[in-house]
């Protein structure tokens, strides 16, 4: 199967290094973003047309993220929504795309003002948009993921309908993967935000109400996305649910040379909620990695990189 990746900054070899590694493993074409107004910009319409052309399955796996942004709406929300709209338009114009696989986030499911513990979040749950707008938690910008699929009007002059409705009207399947916090190793030279959060256990639980992880092979993700499914399918991908005391105890025993704290705020004594992947496991899907493997990989990654 031939695969392609479309990205901005095609001449930045540091950002491209992990893709060069993947090129050595198999067929991978790297496309530069369409250049308009003397710049490469994935928010410009048509930026994705070349890599999408001739493709039956389109994986949209990236979104702009900057936790240090002073204007998340300008720097993240608007470009992310515009980018998704551009991907879908390119799919519609390709006459070949049958399915779009969109990588969402557990943040589109778990952020709410409900009282726990004992809440079980499934594919039927959506984060509370009004609560996120009012409280603006650490990753509040991810409420746009809910906007995309609920079809709420957000960007003037761009789209009055969400991704789900665009795909339904044009007979393109839409599969939404909703991964928990991704842990484990990374091909990136700079640490991804998900790995940094995985090493900050108190922040995770305060943020989302739980500590939920996944670490699995890309081939497994592909099998979930490309199998026989309904025209619209939403799948939570979470292999482990835990809480601060449990994970801290695990870390103290597994890595005794680190000074892992043992006293926590009362609010962190138990998780408010868990993420359910019952939908996937009922179909026979099995997660391949345990907590030991995930944290062993992360520890090696942080310990062996020069910036650690």
In a domain, 82, yes or no: yes
pLDDT of residue 284: 82
Per-residue pLDDT of 219-230, as tens digits, reads 456 556 666 666
Give the residue numbers spanning the domain of 299. 3-242+273-304
Sheet holding 57-60, edge to edge: 57-60, 99-103, 173-179, 232-237
pLDDT of residue 146: 46
In a domain, 163, yes or no: yes
Dist CA 72 CA 66 (whole Å): 8
pLDDT of residue 254: 94
Name the token pair of 111. Answer: 């952020």
pLDDT of residue 208: 74
In a domain, 200, yes or no: yes
Average pLDDT over all residues of the chain: 76
Name the token pair of 29. Answer: 């074409």
Question: CATH number for the domain including 121?
Answer: 3.40.50.720
In a domain, 215, yes or no: yes
For the chain, 308 residues long, give each residue's pLDDT as a single digit of tens.
Answer: 445 555 544 456 777 787 888 888 877 887 776 655 555 566 778 888 888 888 888 888 776 666 666 776 677 777 777 788 888 888 889 889 888 888 888 878 887 788 878 899 999 988 776 776 666 655 545 544 444 444 333 333 333 346 777 777 778 888 888 888 888 888 777 787 778 777 777 777 777 778 888 886 654 565 566 666 666 788 899 999 998 889 889 999 999 998 888 888 877 888 889 999 999 888 888 888 889 999 999 999 888 876 65
In a domain, 120, yes or no: yes
Per-residue pLDDT of 266-291, as tens digits, reads 778 888 899 999 998 888 888 888 89
In a domain, 114, yes or no: yes
In a domain, 260, yes or no: no
Angular region, 201: left φ>0, alpha ψ -120 to 50, beta rest = alpha
Instruction: Report the Cα 142 to chain-centroid distance in Å.
Output: 10
In a domain, 262, yes or no: no
Q: Could you tell me whether strands 99-103 and 57-60 are parallel, antiparallel, or unpaired per DSSP bridges?
A: parallel
> Domain count of the chain?
1
């Amino acid at each position: 199967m031939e695969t392609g990746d479309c990205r901005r900054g095609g001449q930045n070899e540091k950002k491209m290094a992990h893709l060069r590694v993947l090129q050595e493993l198999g067929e991978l074409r790297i496309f530069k973003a369409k250049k308009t107004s003397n710049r490469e910009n994935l928010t410009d319409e048509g930026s994705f047309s070349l890599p999408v052309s001739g493709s039956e399955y389109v994986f949209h796996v990236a979104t702009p993220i900057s936790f240090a942004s002073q204007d998340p709406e300008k720097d993240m929300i608007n470009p992310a929504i515009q980018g998704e709209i551009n991907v879908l338009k390119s799919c519609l114009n390709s006459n070949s795309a049958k399915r779009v696989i969109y990588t969402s986030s557990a943040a589109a499911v778990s952020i709410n003002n409900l009282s726990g513990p004992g809440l079980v979040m499934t594919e039927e749950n959506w984060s509370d948009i009004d609560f996120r707008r009012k409280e603006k938690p650490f990753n509040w910008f991810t409420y746009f993921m809910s906007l995309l699929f609920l079809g709420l009007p957000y960007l003037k002059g761009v789209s009055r309908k969400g991704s789900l409705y665009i795909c339904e009207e044009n007979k393109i399947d839409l599969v939404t993967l909703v991964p928990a916090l991704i842990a484990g190793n990374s091909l990136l030279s700079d640490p991804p935000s998900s790995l940094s959060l995985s090493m900050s256990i108190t922040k995770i639980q305060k943020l989302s109400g739980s500590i939920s992880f996944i670490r699995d092979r890309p081939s497994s993700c592909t099998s979930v996305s490309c199998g026989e499914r309904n025209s619209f399918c939403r799948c939570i991908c979470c292999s482990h649910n835990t809480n601060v005391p449990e994970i801290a105890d695990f870390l103290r025993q597994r890595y005794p040379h680190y000074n892992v704290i043992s006293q926590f705020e009362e609010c962190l004594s138990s998780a408010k909620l868990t993420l359910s992947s019952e939908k996937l496991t009922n179909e026979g899907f099995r997660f391949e990695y345990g907590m030991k493997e995930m944290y062993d990989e992360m520890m090696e990654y942080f310990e062996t990189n020069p910036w650690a």
